[in-house]
Structures are given as C-alpha cells and as structure tokens.
Amino acid sequence: MGIFDKIKNAIFGEAVAAPVTPSAAPSQPGATAAPSPAPSATPQATPAAATPAAAAVDIVPLLDAAVKKSGQKLDWRRSIVDLMKAVGMDASLAERKELAAELGFKGDPHDTAAMNMFLHKALMTRLAENGGKVPADLLD
C-alpha cells in the first residue's frame, strides 16, 4: 500500500468502505416506487473507482475532526505536513519524498517548500479523483 492510499484510508475510513446506495423504498409515505427499467442491451461498466465518487466523502469535517482529536494546532488546508500529522501519519521528509515520487513530482526533491506545495495540491486532486469532496479553493 502506497503513502497516498494510507492517507486516503486514514481520511475516508469507514465512509468509503460502506458506500450508501439509494433505497428502493418510496421516499414519501403513500408514494409508490417506480418500476425498474428493463435492462439495457448494452451492459454498462461500473469501475470500482466509481463507487466512492458516487458517495462523495466530504473531507473537510473529517480532517477538522482529526485535527481536533490530535490536540495540536494544525493547518491541514495549507500544509501537507500538518495534514499527515492530523491523520496520525509520519510526516518525515523521507515519507514526503516517497509520496512525491508516487504522485509524480518532477522538481528538485531538495527544494522541500516547492515539493510540499506540490504534494498538498496533488493530494487534494487525487482525493477528489478518488471520491473525496474537496473544496474548490484547495484544488486551484
């Protein structure tokens, strides 16, 4: 399991493990459920990655709760180090370099400021691609 997967699992936790599926029951008392449409002649592919996206997990309350639980003053919205600390991970330079390689960082690994900025943005993008509801200002 890569560093990204560890972070994703630490944030999403059980929220992605048991995605919510729409109920077949009517939503209002007295209403009747519409009959199921006939199966289409063309089977529709449903990749595994589509399941988490269908039940988008809002990362803001999860990470805010993780910060509160940590008891530290952490700014996960701006700092990859603080985000990793919030979810209980090792935020060492070695771990961040491994994450940088995993996420495709092409810059100088000795320029930790540039690497950290890349990591935060790339992580937010990957979380969004993997079923996370990420605020637009963190994806810019």
Question: Model confidence over 5-64: pLDDT tens digits?
Answer: 999 999 998 555 444 433 444 444 444 444 444 444 444 443 444 444 457 899 999 999
Domain containing 99: what range?
Answer: 56-133
Is 46 part of a structural domain of the chain? no
Residue 24 lies in a domain: no
Mean pLDDT, range 115-139, rounded to an integer: 96
Flag whether 62 is in a domain.
Answer: yes
Beta bridge partners of 60: none
Q: Is 132 helix (H, G, I), strand (E, B) or coil?
A: strand
Does the residue 18 lie in any domain?
Answer: no
| pLDDT for 120 beyond 60 | yes
Q: Please name the residue that has the structure tokens 């002649």.
A: 41
How confident is the model at residue 38, as a pLDDT? Answer: 45
Counting the structural domains of the chain, the total is 1
Is 8 within the bounds of a domain? no
CA distance 139 to 134: 7
Q: Which of 2-16, 79-93, 121-135 has the lowest mean pLDDT?
A: 2-16
